[in-house]
Amino acid sequence: MNDTKLAPTPGNVYSFSRIKCLQQCPLRYRYRYLQGLKEAFRSIESFLGNAVHDVLEWMYATRDIGPAPDESMILERFAASWNTDRDDTVAIVRVDDEEDVYLKLGREMLSRFFRETFARDRSETVALEQRLSVRLADTVVFTGFADRIGRTEKGRLFVIDYKTSKSEGDGSEFSEGLQAPLYASCVLADNSEVEALAGYHYLRYGTTHWQQVDGERAAQLLERFLDLANEAAAAGEFPARPGTLCAWCGFNAQCPAAEVPERFSGGLRRAERDGRRLL
């Protein structure tokens, strides 16, 4: 079992994912971030996202030290990484799906990215999978990982977040409004620049949504995040908020409020096989 993929974020370190988890379901937040419980499974969608991200990181790292990889090398790398990392913590939530559906999707996303973006991308890489961290108050540290930090050919600093999600973001706070712009805010401070671009690249569609972050916006974003982290720290009740996401929640076998339809019960069955149904 790959424990690090399932481990919670500790203590007073607040990531965007942690705050988003509280918004989506306070009980899941309590299990994961306050009680430190491990989720019983990883959905195959999450595993696919990690596998694709690993290959993207490798593509840019390889290009930085020698010839850029071609499409066949990229797909070989993806297949190898999938086979090596796939373990029994990964669950196919949609019970009618076969694993090949996700492998094919990963190949399609990487091929599209290679042809439409990577092959003509002349930007410079500043950092890959870069951990960013800023102390916002005595008890609150914001942290996150930027997929890629770079500079355009014209020298503009940017942060990009790769998304394998089914739909593109809508610009709202927990969709696109905070995550990449917060990372850009950290990068601005680290590089003493006056502005940076924050982007989301949607790998299923080959589209990128950009935002500009200057010093004033960065200060607002960090202040907003501090408010959200303070609200999380002050929360005293953690009600269940059941819904569609229950099928993808690794606590669904132990949660008394879980709502998991049979057709999306692959994760639940996986958890039950592990003896995680406690009630």
Asked if residue 13 binds ligand SF4 (CB under 6 A), the reply is no
CA dist 263 and 94 (Å) reads: 6
CA dist 209 and 180 (Å) reads: 11
CA dist 191 and 210 (Å) reads: 19
Do strands 90-91 and 157-163 pair parallel, antiparallel, or not at all (unpaired)? unpaired
CB 255 within 8 A of CB 249: yes
List the one residue from 33, 255, 266, 271 that touches ligand SF4 (CB under 6 A). Answer: 255
Give the nearest distance from C-beta 252 to ligand SF4 in angstroms: 4
CB 244 within 8 A of CB 263: no
Would you give the binding string for ligand SF4 spanning residues 212-251, x where CB under 6 A is met?
Answer: ----------------------------xxx--xx--x-x
Strand partners for 55: none
Asked if residue 258 binds ligand SF4 (CB under 6 A), the reply is yes
- For residues 5 and 224, which CB has a smaller minimum distance to ligand SF4 in the complex? 5
List the one residue from 19, 25, 221, 222 that touches ligand SF4 (CB under 6 A). Answer: 25
Give the nearest distance from C-beta 21 to ligand SF4 in angstroms: 9
* Neighbouring residues of 51: CB distance < 8 A, sequence distance ≥ 6: 78, 81, 82, 85, 106
Asked if residue 48 binds ligand SF4 (CB under 6 A), the reply is no
Q: Is 180 helix (H, G, I), strand (E, B) or coil?
A: helix
Give the nearest distance from C-beta 277 to ligand SF4 in angstroms: 12
CB 39 within 8 A of CB 251: yes
List the one residue from 27, 52, 188, 196 that touches ligand SF4 (CB under 6 A). Answer: 27
Give the nearest distance from C-beta 48 to ligand SF4 in angstroms: 20
Asked if residue 6 binds ligand SF4 (CB under 6 A), the reply is no
The contact set with ligand SF4 (CB under 6 A) reads 25, 27-28, 240-242, 245-246, 249, 251-252, 255, 257-258
